[in-house]
Structure 1
């Protein structure tokens, strides 16, 4: 039985969703035991609270400061970035005693990290282990920041060739870089038609559908977009998914249909994929996981309010590929939606561009590569062990043959 440990960190939903996708992919393979854990749940409560609050406050309330920190900490020199990540790991290690215990108890054959914190810790923790376990890193940002690069990584799984080329330019060995895409839910590999998805969720078949995912967006700005969209002269169904954003639910409480636009307000749902297939256009922030799911389904998107840093990079890649448009002003969302809905040829081009960029099979590709690599390592270890044993036997034979026969006889007789 091959044991796989997947480590993520609860800093945004993306890492968790990537871990879930990989876990489900491993579970499809017989003779594999997989376990997925939040590394921060094994950290000292003081550290965990400080990190999560810092991320939340910077990304939501001080985005420009977050951007400055994100870009300032992206080190182009490979040795300097490795040293910097190692220094961070040494500082963090005292807060992760429980994580060390998890590694000892579960004793995995391989560790897969979908976030930087557990990956950089492993280069320290594995030094003290009796035998280091292969570590694989799944990058969940469209562009790999230098904090993803650590000692002892046997393979990096990347979202696109651009990210691979940037790491090669920084000096990372190309042999450990694999372009697979960001792992998304396995159901996205299953073919679905727009008609089937709409019927399943009781959605109209004749109206254009625009879905706005507002869970990670500012409630005030989302309400402004929704009000503008409701003034559209085009008949559409506007679906707003608030997720766990309670402020957004409250902000939209008194907002209702208009003369031409039907409004459907949803909280947390479990049929996001059906909405992606059913929609003619999606409005979203530029999180690595949600945009990867949208791309894999080929749905054109309008990207709004990307978090400065990695989400801006995600948005740039999508816009450059022609799979979506990026807007900075919320007032431009409604005009852009109307413009696109009036031009089905443009939407068709965006659909095709999204499909070319999307990777619906990413999770299975990563899993198959890891298991193939582990099998090759076992074969190599078996061969090396066999060669050592053969060498030992041959060495013993040589030593025996070097003893004169008379001495052997006398020794035997004396015994």
Structure 2
């Protein structure tokens, strides 16, 4: 039985979703036991609360400051990146004692990290030889920030060739880099048709369906977009998915159907993939996981309000590939939706571009690679051990003979 430990940090829902996808993918393999853990659960409450609040306050309320920090902490020099991340790990170590104990008690054959914090902490355990198993890192940003690079990593799994080029330019060995895409839920590999999904969720078959994923967006800005779409679209159904953002649903309480557009507001749902398949167009921010899910289904998207830093980079990659359009002015959302719905050829081009970028099998491909890589490494070590034992036996026999 092969034991896999997946470590993530619950800073945003994307890392959690990626870990869940990998967990399910490993369970598809025979004789594999999987443990998936939030690294922040094993830190002190002081550290956990501080990191969570800093991330939320900067990324949502002071995005330009977050961008300055994000870009300022991205280091081009490989050795400096490694040393900086190791220094951070040493500073954080007093807060992570419970995580170190959990990792040692789990006694995994391999560890998979889908966020930077647990990956850099594992460097210290490796140095003390407390954890000798290989570590694999799954990068969930379109462009890999230098904080992903750590000592002791056996392989990095990346979303695209562009991210590979960035790491190679920083000095990372090309042989350590594997392009797989960002792991998305296995459900996305299942064939689904737009008519079937619309029937299943009581959506019209003969008019456009536009879905706005607004859970991570400012409620007032979502209200502005929705009210404009209701007023100006000639026909269609507009779905607003608020996720965990209860404030958003409250802020949209005064909006209802217009004479030409049906409005549907939903909170936490378990059929996000069905909505993606049902939709002619998605309006969303540029989170790595949600955009990867949309790309894997080939649905065109409009990207609004990306968080400065990694989400801006995600948006640039998607827009450059022709799979989506990035809009900076909210006033342009309604005209863009109107234009695309009136030009199905343009939407079809965007669908084709999205499918070229999408990687629905990413989670399975990563799991397959890790298990095969681990098994090959184990076989190599067994052969070396057998060879050493044989050599020692031969030397002993020769000594006795003399």
Larger radius of gyration: 1
* Aligned equivalents of 2:128, 2:151: Cα separation in 1: 14
Equivalent residue for 1:413?
Answer: none
Task: Label 1:387 to 1:298 Cα distance change in 2 as closer, same or farther (>3 A).
Answer: same
Q: How many angstroms does 1:129 deviate by?
A: 3.1
- After TM superposition, list the pairs within 5 Å mapping 1:55-74 onto structure 2: 55-74=55-74
* Aligned equivalents of 2:231, 2:300: Cα separation in 1: 22
Equivalent residue for 1:167?
Answer: 167
Q: How many angstroms does 1:232 deviate by?
A: 2.1
Q: How many angstroms does 1:26 deviate by?
A: 0.5
- After TM superposition, list the pairs within 5 Å mapping 1:300-319 onto structure 2: 300-319=300-319
Structure 2 residue 224 is matched with structure 1 residue 244 = no
* Aligned equivalents of 2:179, 2:219: Cα separation in 1: 36
Q: How many angstroms does 1:163 deviate by?
A: 0.2
- After TM superposition, list the pairs within 5 Å mapping 1:111-260 onto structure 2: 111-130=111-130, 132-260=132-260
Equivalent residue for 2:44?
Answer: 44
Q: Deviations over 1:275-333 (max 9, x none)?
A: 00000000000000000000000000000000000000000000000000000111110
TM-score for both structures, normalised by structure 1: 0.96
Q: Deviations over 1:153-196 (max 9, x none)?
A: 00000000000011111110111100000000001011111011
Aligned length, in residue pairs: 402
8 Å Cα contact 2:233/2:334 also seen in 1 = no
Q: Deviations over 1:180-226 (max 9, x none)?
A: 00000001011111011111111111110000000000000000000
* Aligned equivalents of 2:30, 2:102: Cα separation in 1: 23
SS of structure 2 residue aligned to 1:231: helix
SS of structure 1 residue aligned to 2:313: helix
Task: Label 1:137 to 1:233 Cα distance change in 2 as closer, same or farther (>3 A).
Answer: closer
Q: How many angstroms does 1:376 deviate by?
A: 0.1
Q: How many angstroms does 1:378 deviate by?
A: 1.1
Structure 2 residue 356 is matched with structure 1 residue 394 = no
* Aligned equivalents of 2:233, 2:349: Cα separation in 1: 24
* Aligned equivalents of 2:208, 2:201: Cα separation in 1: 15
Q: Deviations over 1:360-400 (max 9, x none)?
A: 00000000000000110111011001101111111101111
8 Å Cα contact 2:75/2:146 also seen in 1 = yes
8 Å Cα contact 2:3/2:109 also seen in 1 = yes
* Aligned equivalents of 1:131, 1:195: Cα separation in 2: 51
* Aligned equivalents of 2:285, 2:387: Cα separation in 1: 56
- After TM superposition, list the pairs within 5 Å mapping 1:31-110 onto structure 2: 31-110=31-110
SS of structure 1 residue aligned to 2:192: coil
Equivalent residue for 2:24?
Answer: 24
Which segments of 5 or more consecutive residues in structure 1 lack a partner in the other structure?
403-415
Which segments of 5 or more consecutive residues in structure 2 lack a partner in the other structure?
none
List structure 1 segments (4+ residues) > 4 angstroms apart after TM superposition.
none
TM-score for both structures, normalised by structure 2: 0.99
